[in-house]
Structure 1
Amino acid sequence: MKLAYWMYAGPAHIGTLRVASSFKNVHGIMHAPIGDDYFNVMRSMLERERNFTPVTTSVVDRHVLSRGSQEKVVDNITRKDSEEHPDLIVLTPTCTSSILQEDLENFVERASQTTVSDVILADVNHYRVNELQAADRTLEQIIQFYIAKARKNGDLVTAKTPEPSVNILGPTTLGFHNQHDVRELRKLMADLGITINAVIPDGASVNDIKTLPQAWFNLVPYREIGPLAARYLEQEFNQPFVDITPMGVVETARCIRQIQTLLNQQGATVNYEDFIQSQTLHVSQAAWFSRSIDCQNLTGKKAVVFGDNTHAAAITKILSREMGIHVVWAGTYCKYDGDWFREQVQDFCDEVIITDDHGAIGDAIARVEPAAIFGTQMERHVGKRLDTPCGVIAAPIHIQNFPIGYKPFLGYEGSNQIVDLIYNSFTLGMEDHLLEIFGGHDTKEVIHKGISADSDLNWTSDGLAELNKIPGFVRGKVKRNTEKFARERNISHINVEVLYAAKEAVGA
């Protein structure tokens, strides 16, 4: 694993624990040294949970290193079984403890002989996959386990429900606006006359898994978590799935039309065209806003987009197709699924960037000087350094991404929220001039370092003072042009004379 002070996607055990702790009455046991056990604090703080996070650390310490872990791990599993009485206990190592190369599968088998709870070992390669891949695989593994158990016990439910029904696969704890998205999806399905059979894993019991095959189809709203489970259910039960993310007016309509097709293929007679028309014109304000003078003021403005696959792809399409904003480049940190992302956005932006190097992303933003950034919390910090506004549209999650108010990203209400986010992220109208009048720009110290840490240029006090006099809305561009001028002439200190010389050179 690469060690970094900023990672867009966490290590594999975080993904496993996200899925395990999303189910009701499931307990996670993390085989890890002290220092890897931050998941409990993170989840309790960000989700504002009233109850303790159901995760226990089986600590790898000097005693474990000298004697081995088997006795301690088995004891921890059996103790939690007797204390908490969970339906399932999920054991996961971390990258650190995986170095020991212990036979954890054997530990699970030994513990299972005496526990009432089911016990499984998370079947992920902690060296090769990240948080999102591990979460996707763990969800599939748990579903496979309980489908096999139900088959063995003879209580697997395979007969379809009398009326159209759906399983929503993928929403988890610590997801980006996932709880609000699920509320919006429940409302959308109710409006379409479709019963929710199960939402897996968020808030579900593992005992609900045996009823998954009775739904008419599966809905996978997120590209990162859920596709593996949907493909497994399709293979096992010929259960179709929809994996179009209903984000934005166009994609929400496309998702609903795909649902309509699947239901009619199974004998239903539904037509959602009137519903789509009504929602687009009267419930979602996005379509109306795209024709308003406010949105026309954004036409042609430059923006960049970066995030996970689901949100970055959807926001790129909304910006370009629905709001007429010029997306200079769009990027994702989901390198393992980069081909899908490239296919989705290549017609809606000038350039596609696939990397998990936050430094490279910072430099790419500085290079194109966008009017606004739509990215993660890391890009928000980059935007602050460049004096460029940023709307946060994707994980890694932050306390700001768990709003008290209702802010879904999916469905027709989600389209309203996204339009507000996009519009308010740009610096608009007289805003820059008002900032100058009230001293907004001049109260900030000018950043004279590059985004990357390899800048060797220094600004003198008189150079900085002169730079501060330049209006904020062009100051960043002047600064970057001056630094480019200085580098080309091997000038290491930028004073007021260099600033004026650079200005003359570019004809500004």
Structure 2
Amino acid sequence: MKLAYWMYAGPAHIGTLRIASSFKNVHAIMHAPLGDDYFNVMRSMLERERNFTPVTASVVDRNVLARGSQNKVVDNITRKDQEESPDLIVLTPTCTSSILQEDLQNFVDQAQMEAKGDVLLADVNHYRVNELQAGDRTLQQIVQFYIEKARKQGDLATEKTERPSVNIIGISTLSFHNNHDHRELVKLMGDLGIEVNAVIPDGASVHELKNLPRAWFNLVPYRELGGMTADYLHTEFDMPSVRITPMGIVDTARCIRAIQVVLNGQGAAVDYEPFIDEQTRFVSQAAWFSRSIDCQNLTGKRAVVFGDNTHAAAMTRILAKEMGIKVVLAGTYCKYDADWFREQVSDYCDEVLISDDNAAIATAIARLEPAAIFGTQMERHVGKRLDIPCGVIAAPIHIQNFPVGYTPFVGYEGANQIVDLVYNSFTLGMEDHLLEIFGGHDTKEAITREITTDSDLNWSKDGLTELNKIPGFVRGKVKRNVEKFARDRQITTITAEVLYAAKEAVGA
């Protein structure tokens, strides 16, 4: 077992709570010790939520350990049913409930006899899946529950809508810019003449789920959430799905063309090529930028990309195909889906890293010395220490990555936002020159510190002073060469004298 101070994907119950709290009028019960209910604070703060977050902790304390949990959990479910009148209450397992070997399904069955609303146990294995996998499974389970319920009641809507329509699956709370992507995807579908039958789970009512089969197809914009639901709907109703993330000019067009194929296969006879051409040639600022002198100044710049599968893969392709930027490393923390990621990015980067160890990506960044990083909030912290600019492109994220203004990352407007993020993440031209002349953030001694703590060398004050006189863009390389020189000669403290000797040894 390894102690981690940073987790890219949280425990399974966080994924379940994200899905439950994304639906309208759904309440979640989490049976866990006091202190594990940080989800409420996290969601209220990050999403700037005005309403009460619909998650209640059924606290495990010494009384529970002595007498068992059954009465407490059942009482909490029935109490919330009476107080909040939710359409659905979801009981989520936690590591604590697993350790106690509690029969949570029995608790749910008992509570259902008294509750007016529906009660459901989230069917996730807390030890085998993470937050993303649990969220995907929970969404599919809720959809299946209400589809089967409607089928039993003879209330299942299966007749297709008169006009082409879509279910957008996978928009969730606490995801990267999902609330903005929601608006942009709805607008894009409207521009294509496609009705939006449902968007789930964000703001949806569970009573609307019986209408999902009416859509002509499902759009799953994110690899991490919605795939299992789309698979279920395909198995039950033979519903086709489009699973291309419309990020960037190229992939947005590719997604639209895939939608065209699906609709024409059902007799719609649509042609979206004129729309794609107009957006690409005359409307999109991103397409214009890719041909401008500003983008040419980025050609050959070196970048590292790291994040979830969806955003890291899309950003890698955008940088390499649309902006001419050299991606020296593309990585993801979604180890469970590594094969897909490798397939998506291998042709567009020099190196692929699959890891959920933040130290591994930090060490790789320090080794590669890119001109910019595109990653999560953790890579932003790494960039601060190495004085490398970082644009945040994926969760986990900080409150600053939940902008109040409209900042989608999908569709044609999303492509514009990505261009701004990429361009502003590089130190370019006169800015770089002025920093060297007048000094700036790159003269801080912090740049000489290693990301990892396994160095056996110390730098004296005069050694650091001399090192900081070296231009920032080559300082890291000089530092590594000097340290190698010192290790080869069993020198443990690097002084200015050692630095001069090292420079002379390599003919610098």
Q: TM-score band (shorter)?
A: over 0.9
- Comparing 73-82 and 439-448, the one that deviates more: 439-448
- 1:125 matches 2:102: no
Alignment partner, residue 493 of structure 2: 493
What is the CA–CA distance in structure 2 between the aligned matches of 1:164 and 1:317, rounded to whole Å?
30
Alignment partner, residue 319 of structure 2: 319
Q: Structure 2 counterpart of 1:39, which letter? A: F
For 2:114, what is the secondary structure of its paired residue? coil
1:3, distance to aligned residue in structure 2 (A)? 4.1
1:439, distance to aligned residue in structure 2 (A)? 3.3
- 1:361 matches 2:361: yes
1:125, distance to aligned residue in structure 2 (A)? 0.4
Report 1:401-420 matches (<5 A).
401-420=401-420
Are residues 264 and 16 of structure 1, via their aligned partners in 2, closer, same or farther at CA, if it must alter by over 3 Å?
same
Alignment partner, residue 483 of structure 2: 483
- 1:340 matches 2:340: yes
What is the CA–CA distance in structure 1 between the aligned matches of 2:458 and 2:307, rounded to whole Å?
32
Alignment partner, residue 331 of structure 1: 331
Alignment partner, residue 252 of structure 2: 252
What is the CA–CA distance in structure 1 between the aligned matches of 2:431 and 2:484, rounded to whole Å?
28
Alignment partner, residue 308 of structure 2: 308
What is the CA–CA distance in structure 1 between the aligned matches of 2:475 and 2:174, rounded to whole Å?
38
What is the CA–CA distance in structure 2 between the aligned matches of 1:488 and 1:407, rounded to whole Å?
51
What is the CA–CA distance in structure 1 between the aligned matches of 2:442 and 2:2, rounded to whole Å?
40
- Comparing 238-247 and 425-434, the one that deviates more: 425-434
Q: Structure 1 counterpart of 2:493, which letter? A: H
For 2:92, what is the secondary structure of its paired residue? strand
Query: Percent identical across equivalent pairs?
Result: 79
What is the CA–CA distance in structure 2 between the aligned matches of 1:410 and 1:143, rounded to whole Å?
25
1:475, distance to aligned residue in structure 2 (A)? 2.3
Report 1:195-344 matches (<5 A).
195-344=195-344
Deviations 1:81-134 (A, max 9, x none): 000000000001222332111000100001001101100111000001000000
* Conserved 8 A contact 1:358-1:378: yes
What is the CA–CA distance in structure 1 between the aligned matches of 2:20 and 2:488, rounded to whole Å?
55
* Conserved 8 A contact 1:446-1:464: no
Unaligned stretches of 5+ in structure 1?
none
What is the CA–CA distance in structure 2 between the aligned matches of 1:369 and 1:347, rounded to whole Å?
21
Q: Structure 2 counterpart of 1:63, which letter? A: N
- 1:106 matches 2:94: no
Are residues 253 and 158 of structure 1, via their aligned partners in 2, closer, same or farther at CA, if it must alter by over 3 Å?
same
Alignment partner, residue 430 of structure 2: 430
1:502, distance to aligned residue in structure 2 (A)? 2.5
1:454, distance to aligned residue in structure 2 (A)? 1.4
Please, what is the CA RMSD of the aligned residues?
Answer: 1.3
Alignment partner, residue 73 of structure 1: 73
Deviations 1:441-471 (A, max 9, x none): 3662334432112122111000011112222
Alignment partner, residue 30 of structure 1: 30
Alignment partner, residue 457 of structure 1: 457
1:405, distance to aligned residue in structure 2 (A)? 1.2
Alignment partner, residue 13 of structure 1: 13
Deviations 1:62-90 (A, max 9, x none): 00001000000000000000000000000
Q: Structure 2 counterpart of 1:355, which letter? A: S
Alignment partner, residue 393 of structure 2: 393
Alignment partner, residue 96 of structure 1: 96
What is the TM-score normalised by the length of structure 1?
0.98
- Comparing 205-214 and 479-488, the one that deviates more: 479-488
1:150, distance to aligned residue in structure 2 (A)? 0.4
What is the CA–CA distance in structure 2 between the aligned matches of 1:80 and 1:28, rounded to whole Å?
9
1:425, distance to aligned residue in structure 2 (A)? 0.6
Q: Structure 1 counterpart of 2:6, which letter? A: W
1:367, distance to aligned residue in structure 2 (A)? 1.0
For 1:446, what is the secondary structure of its paired residue? helix
Are residues 97 and 487 of structure 1, via their aligned partners in 2, closer, same or farther at CA, if it must alter by over 3 Å?
farther
What is the CA–CA distance in structure 2 between the aligned matches of 1:251 and 1:502, rounded to whole Å?
49
For 2:313, what is the secondary structure of its paired residue? helix
- 1:187 matches 2:191: no
